[in-house]
Amino acid sequence: MPYKKKGHDDFRRGLCVFCAKKTSRPLSQLLKDAILRLVQNDVDFFDTRRPSGICVRCRVLLQQADKGEISPSKIPPLFDVRNVKVTKALRDKICDCRLCEIGRENVKTRPDLKKGMKAKKGGRPTQKEMSFSGKPQTPIKTCPRCFSRLLPGLRHQCTEGVRREFTCIC
């Protein structure tokens, strides 16, 4: 399947109508009605300058405001479309409007997006990760006969009774 470059309409569908963050959820008719009722009653959703998706955070806020759980003032304002100038994409020319710029951004073009995406390193934890006190832990020496701890300053009584007592505790 050949790769097809995204166009302006593809980027519109992939951005939130409120915060212009990337999303994969399109605006449903119920959400459009809620926006018209709660946020602004003269929104043109067919305007090519306006994003036509909604992110999870803004959708939840909109639904909570629609149910009356929060006030509509908690919903973020709609994305300002006055500064978006759509240019018709021709063969070699790509659209360079603000929506398409946001849609094309990734961690290669904007390294600051990578801040919270640090992958967790797998494998055995290091000594620093294992230690809660900050200093490296040392192994505890035990007697091979009775399995009691061998610590400096403590008397070691290697007898049959100590061995039985130690195995019963564990």
pLDDT tens digits for 136-150? 567 778 888 777 778
39 and 83 share one domain:
yes
Q: In terms of residue numbers, what domain contains 158? A: 140-170
Region at 157 (left for phi over 0; alpha for psi -120 to 50; beta for the rest): beta
| Assigned domain for 85 exists | yes
Cα–Cα distance for residue pair 103/118, rounded to 1 Å: 22
101 and 150 share one domain:
no
Continuous segment of H or E residues that includes residue 79: none
103 touches 20 (CB < 8 A):
no
15 and 55 share one domain:
yes
Q: What is the pLDDT of residues 147-165, one digit of tens each?
A: 777 888 887 777 766 666 6
Cα–Cα distance for residue pair 10/67, rounded to 1 Å: 31
